[in-house]
């Protein structure tokens, strides 16, 4: 991963990836994928299983190194939130936040912890062990830990998996507020309706290839026409993939 | 049912590491333990050096002693490993190839000859032993005692036969030859009694029947002399052969100290291995590993932290344990300065081993199970003394135990607790090598975590 100062004439992208390629043995998991995302933008990465969504996020997060291609982060680091809550269930909510704040070497540990407790709305449960919280609340702490370093870009890997509708609603309320404060949010999801509802732009991957990068309306337009009964976005997405042999 | 069985076999085939650990490792350990328990040398291997000049006849009290028969009888009880010099014998004992060495001195026959004489002198055989730990020391002493008892019994039977013949002469009379003279006739106690009774009945007081009285006087004199010899004879019969035991290797620590070292090492092993293996596996189970190593800490730093955790906890636990035992057993607190490096090195060895297990396991329970499964049999094998099993088997056990930290940690702790223990420096170097090796294995294993 490389960081370079923005060119004066370049768009104010928070993150930009070019020609990303990743192989696992003979299998190509990601082939020449590129995109850019602006500050405060919500970008959904969608595609069938095995499309390369999680691989793309792991490259952007720096967990894996790409075999080819480069990633530019002109505005700072990225925060990564894995699909399953990555926290210590025997530590309390505050202890988890404090631990990761120290590891992130933030200047004001206690102030940051208080700010995150406020943002997650879990101030009253600060002394509860994380393992006693619901899946939704654990996921909010999970995201809060990813935000401790005040990243310019937040990567969410299927953040709403396993949450009930109410928990999901509260989660997205939290994420939208982050984007409203200028954090670029890139998330993967299998739930097409979720992408339609919250994302400003979608990146479609299939078999490791980038098939589409644009708005929901542009993807609708790019899909072959269907019958009146199949005019929803999910059906359009399926037709889009089918037309391209996926 | 068969499809489920097939499915399980397919899963095992696709998890070679699990299969090796679950099947191959227990088989290897079970075979080693089984052989160690059941296939020790049928007879203890003892180096045998005979310095007695060949064709030296041995006659005890005029009776020829069957030397060749005695040697073959001895070699039926032990596996005699012939050696040509004391140096060779010493080398074999030091290396653990033999349990001990038996050296028959050149003057053995001459001294055995004296046992039936008036000036008996017990011969001394030399025995070289390797008492590298108190268990082995006890074992060697038992074996030597048994061999010595058998040899002494055989010789004492011969001597006792001679003594019986002397007593018969004293009792019943007969010809007696002494120091090569022509011999003379001994009257015997019973005949003396008969004569005395006859004289008493037949002779009046002041009778000049001097011959009979001279016989009685001569017998009385001889009887008193023979009774004096009987004391020495009886002494030589009780233990005809003396033993000069020399410990070639291993200034044996006391059994108490060794027991404490074993207890401390086992505690050190379980606390450290379980803690580190479980703690590392927990990072994976909590999904925190990727988050930590993405940018917050490197994988190597995380492993070092786990090993440090194990070392610190093991130091505290072991010192507390020793302090508690110190209330009941006399520990040499003057050697406290050596306890610390021994515990630190042992703790680091076990911690690195635990990190490798934690890196290989996917969850805490699997890590704990693996730690028990591997550690306990290795600890058992490490306590088998040399010379108690067949040499090839002992070598195999030595290779296996050298690959794990228990044996060097036990040697380090024993050496730290007791001046008579093994050299602590070598054990610590061994542990450092294991820390590096298991650290590298752990580092390879955690690559799979991401």
Residue A8: predicted pLDDT: 46
How many Å lie between the alpha carbon of B440 and the closest alpha carbon of chain A? 21
The verdict on B295 touching A (C-beta cutoff 8 Å) is yes
Q: How many contacts, defined by CB atoms under 8 Å, are there between A and B?
A: 34
B112 with B208, same domain: the answer is no
What pLDDT was estimated at residue A166?
Answer: 81
Pairing verdict, β B59-60 and B63-64: antiparallel
| Residue B179 falls inside a structural domain | yes
Is A61–B294 a contact, with Cβ atoms under 8 angstroms apart?
A: yes
More confident of the two residues A8 and B220: B220
Instruction: Please report whether residue B5 resides in a domain.
Output: no
Residue B105 gets the label, from left (phi > 0), alpha (psi -120 to 50) or beta, of beta
Is residue A19 classed as helix, strand or coil in its secondary structure? strand
B363 at interface of A, judged by CB pairs closer than 8 A: no
Q: Is B297 within 8 Å of chain A by CB?
A: yes
Cα-trace Rg, chain B: 34
- How many residues would you count in chain B? 450
Please indicate, yes or no, whether residues B185 and B83 belong to a single structural domain of this protein: no
Distance from CA of A153 to the nearest CA of B (A): 15
**Which has the minimum average pLDDT: A74-78, A227-231, B358-362?**
A227-231
| Selected residue with higher pLDDT from A218 and B56 | A218
Residues B78 and B141 occupy one common structural domain: yes
Residue B67 lies in a domain: yes
Block residue for tokens 């919250």: A198
Rounded Cα distance, A97 and B267, in Å: 35
User: How much of chain A is helix, strand and coil, in % rounded to 5?
Assistant: 40, 25, 35
Residue B210 has a pLDDT of: 64
Cα dist. A93→A126, A133, A150, B178 in Å?
Answer: 5, 9, 19, 104
Q: Are B435 and B272 in contact (CB under 8 A)?
A: no
Greater pLDDT, A6 or A204: A204
Do both B222 and B172 map to the same domain? yes
User: Looking at the domain assignment, is residue B290 inside a domain?
Assistant: yes
Question: Does any CB of chain A come closer than 8 Å to the CB of residue B402?
Answer: no
Separation in Å, CA of B291 to nearest CA in chain A: 7
Distance of alpha carbon B100 from alpha carbon B385, whole angstroms: 13
- Domains held by chain B: number: 3
Q: How far apart are CA B420 and CA B254, in angstroms?
A: 8
DSSP codes, B357-392: HHHH-SSHHHHHHHHHHHHHHHHHHHTPPTTSS-HH
Verify that B141 and B206 share a domain, yes or no: no
CATH number at residue B150: 3.40.1710
Find the Cα–Cα–Cα–Cα dihedral A84, A85, A90, A95, rounded to 10°: 160
Average pLDDT, whole number, for chain A?
A: 87
pLDDT the model gives residue A245: 84
pLDDT reported for residue B272: 92
State whether A62 and B294 contact (CB < 8 Å).
yes
Tell me if A77 and B295 make a contact (CB, 8 A cut-off): yes
Model pLDDT, residue A201: 94
Question: Residues of A with CB below 8 A from B286's CB?
Answer: 86-89
When mean pLDDT is compared across A208-222, A224-238, B190-204, B348-362, the lowest value belongs to B190-204
Rounded Cα distance, B379 and B405, in Å:
9
List, for residues B198-207, the tens digit of each pLDDT value.
Answer: 776 776 667 7
In this prediction, residues A138-156 reach a mean pLDDT of: 89
Kindly report the nearest CA distance between residue B290 and chain A, in angstroms. 7
B142, B271: one domain? no
B103 domain residue, yes or no? yes
On chain A, the residues whose CB falls within 8 A of the CB of B295 are 62, 77
Cα gap A97→A95, rounded to integer Å:
5
For residue B33, tell me if it sits in a domain: no
Whether residue B265 is found in the same domain as residue B368: yes
What are B104-160's pLDDT values in tens digits?
888 877 777 776 665 677 778 888 877 666 666 666 667 666 777 766 776 666 666
B286 vs A: CB within 8 A: yes
Partners of A153 in the β-ladder: A78, A184
Chain B contact for A240 (CB, 8 A cutoff): no
Give dist(CA A222, CA B165) in Å, integer: 125
Q: Do B286 and A61 touch (CB under 8 A)?
A: no
| Whether A70 contacts chain B with CB within 8 A | no
Alpha carbon of B286: minimum distance to chain A alpha carbons (Å): 6
- Asked whether the beta carbons of residue A100 and residue B296 sit closer than 8 angstroms, the reply is yes
What pLDDT does A3 receive?
45
Gap from A104 CA to chain B (nearest CA, Å): 6
On whether both B117 and B200 belong to a single domain, the answer is no
| Between residues B228 and A14, the one the model is more confident about | A14
Residues of chain A with Cβ-Cβ distance to B364 below 8 Å are none
Within a domain: B338: yes
Please indicate, yes or no, whether residues B272 and B409 belong to a single structural domain of this protein: yes
Q: Give the chain B residue nearest A149 (alpha carbons).
A: B296
pLDDT, tens digit, 9 for 90 and up, residues A94-134: 999 999 999 988 889 999 999 889 888 888 999 999 999 98
At residue A184 the predicted structure's pLDDT band, cuts being 50, 70 and 90, is very high
pLDDT of residue B435: 97
User: Sheet of A153-157: strands edge to edge?
Assistant: A68-72, A15-24, A27-37, A209-214, A201-206, A42-46, A184-188, A153-157, A78-81
Co-location of B261 and B224 in the same domain: no
| CB-CB neighbors (< 8 A) of B291 in chain A | 80, 82, 86, 100, 145
Q: What structural domains does chain A harbor?
A: 1-77+154-159+187-246 (3.40.50.300)
Residue B26 lies in a domain: no
Q: Is A31 on the interface with B (CB under 8 A)?
A: no
Site of tokens 């010789």: B155
ipTM of the complex: 0.75
What average pLDDT score do residues A125-149 get? 89
Query: What is the C-alpha to C-alpha distance for residues B258 and B249, in angstroms, rounded to an integer?
Result: 16
Same domain, B303 and B440: yes
Query: Does A126 lie at the interface with B, CB-CB under 8 angstroms?
Result: no
List, as one string, the DSSP characters of B209-240.
-HHHHHHHHHHHHHHHHHHHHHHHHHHHHH--
What average pLDDT does range A179-189 have in this prediction? 92
Q: Do A80 and B291 touch (CB under 8 A)?
A: yes
Domain residues for the domain of B187 are: 168-233
Q: Which residues of chain B have pLDDT under 50?
A: 179
The residue-averaged pLDDT of A130-145 equals 88
Tell me if A103 and B288 make a contact (CB, 8 A cut-off). Answer: no
**Residue of A82, A90, A98 to mutate, testing the B interface (most B Cβ within 10 Å of its Cβ):** A82
Distance from CA of B283 to the nearest CA of A (A): 8
Question: Within an 8 Å CB–CB cutoff, is residue B362 touching chain A?
Answer: no
């Amino acid at each position: 991963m490389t960081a370079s100062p923005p060119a004066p004439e370049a768009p104010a992208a928070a993150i930009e990836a070019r020609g990303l390629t990743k192989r696992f043995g003979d299998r190509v998991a990601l082939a020449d994928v590129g995109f850019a995302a602006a500050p405060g933008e919500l970008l959904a990465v969608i595609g069938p299983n095995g499309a390369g969504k999680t691989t793309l996020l792991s490259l952007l997060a720096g967990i894996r190194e790409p075999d080819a291609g480069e990633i530019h982060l002109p505005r700072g680091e990225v925060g990564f939130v894995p699909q399953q809550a990555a926290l210590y269930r025997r530590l309390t909510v505050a202890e988890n936040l404090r631990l990761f704040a120290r590891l992130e070497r933030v200047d004001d540990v206690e102030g940051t912890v208080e700010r995150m407790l406020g943002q997650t709305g879990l101030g009253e449960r600060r002394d509860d062990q994380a393992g006693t919280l619901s899946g939704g609340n654990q996921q909010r702490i999970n995201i809060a830990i990813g935000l401790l370093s005040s990243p310019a870009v937040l990567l969410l890997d299927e953040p709403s998996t396993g949450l009930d509708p109410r928990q999901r609603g509260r989660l997205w309320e939290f994420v939208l507020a982050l984007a409203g404060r200028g954090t670029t949010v890139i998330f993967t999801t299998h739930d097409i309706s979720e992408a339609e509802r919250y994302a400003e732009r979608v990146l479609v991957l299939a078999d490791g290839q980038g098939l589409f990068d644009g708005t929901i309306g542009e993807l609708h337009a790019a899909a072959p026409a269907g019958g009146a009964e199949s005019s929803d976005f999910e059906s359009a997405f399926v037709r889009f993939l089918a037309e391209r042999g996926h | 049912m068969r499809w489920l069985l097939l499915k399980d076999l397919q899963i095992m085939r696709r998890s070679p590491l699990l299969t090796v650990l679950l099947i191959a490792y227990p088989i290897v350990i079970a075979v080693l333990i089984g052989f160690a328990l059941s296939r020790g040398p049928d007879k203890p291997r003892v180096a045998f050096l005979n310095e007695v000049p060949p064709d030296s006849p041995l006659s005890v009290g005029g009776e020829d002693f069957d030397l060749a028969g005695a040697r073959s009888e001895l070699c039926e009880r032990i596996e005699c490993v012939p050696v040509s010099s004391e140096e060779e014998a010493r080398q074999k004992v030091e290396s653990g190839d033999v349990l001990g060495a038996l050296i028959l001195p050149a003057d053995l026959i001459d001294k055995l000859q004296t046992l039936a004489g008036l000036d008996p002198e017990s011969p001394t055989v030399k025995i070289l032993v390797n008492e590298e730990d108190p268990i082995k020391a006890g074992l060697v002493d038992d074996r030597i005692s048994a061999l010595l008892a058998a040899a002494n019994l055989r010789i004492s039977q011969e001597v006792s036969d001679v003594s019986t013949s002397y007593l018969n002469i004293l009792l019943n009379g007969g010809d007696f030859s002494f120091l090569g003279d022509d011999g003379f006739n001994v009257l015997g106690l019973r005949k003396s009694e008969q004569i005395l009774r006859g004289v008493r009945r037949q002779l009046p007081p002041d009778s000049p029947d001097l011959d009979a009285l001279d016989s009685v006087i001569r017998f009385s004199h001889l009887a008193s002399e023979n009774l004096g010899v009987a004391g020495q004879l009886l002494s030589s019969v009780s233990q005809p052969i003396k033993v000069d035991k020399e410990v070639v290797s291993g200034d044996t620590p006391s059994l108490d100290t060794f027991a404490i070292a074993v207890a401390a090492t086992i505690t050190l092993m379980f606390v450290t291995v379980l803690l580190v293996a479980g703690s590392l596996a927990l990072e994976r189970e909590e999904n925190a590993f990727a988050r930590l190593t993405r940018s917050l800490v490197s994988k190597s730093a995380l492993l070092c932290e786990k090993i440090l955790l194990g070392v610190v906890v093991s130091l505290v636990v072991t010192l507390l344990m020793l302090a508690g035992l110190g209330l009941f057993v006399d520990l040499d607190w003057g050697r406290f300065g050596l306890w610390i490096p021994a515990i630190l090195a042992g703790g680091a060895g076990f911690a690195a081993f635990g990190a490798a297990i934690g890196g290989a396991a996917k969850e805490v329970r699997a890590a704990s199970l693996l730690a028990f499964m591997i550690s306990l049999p290795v600890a058992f094998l490490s306590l088998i003394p040399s010379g108690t099993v067949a040499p090839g088997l002992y070598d195999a056990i030595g290779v296996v135990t050298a690959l794990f930290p228990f044996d060097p940690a036990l040697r380090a702790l024993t050496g730290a607790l007791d001046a008579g223990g093994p050299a602590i420096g070598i054990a610590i170097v061994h542990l450092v090598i294991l820390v590096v090796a298991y650290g590298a294995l752990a580092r390879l294993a955690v690559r799979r975590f991401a």
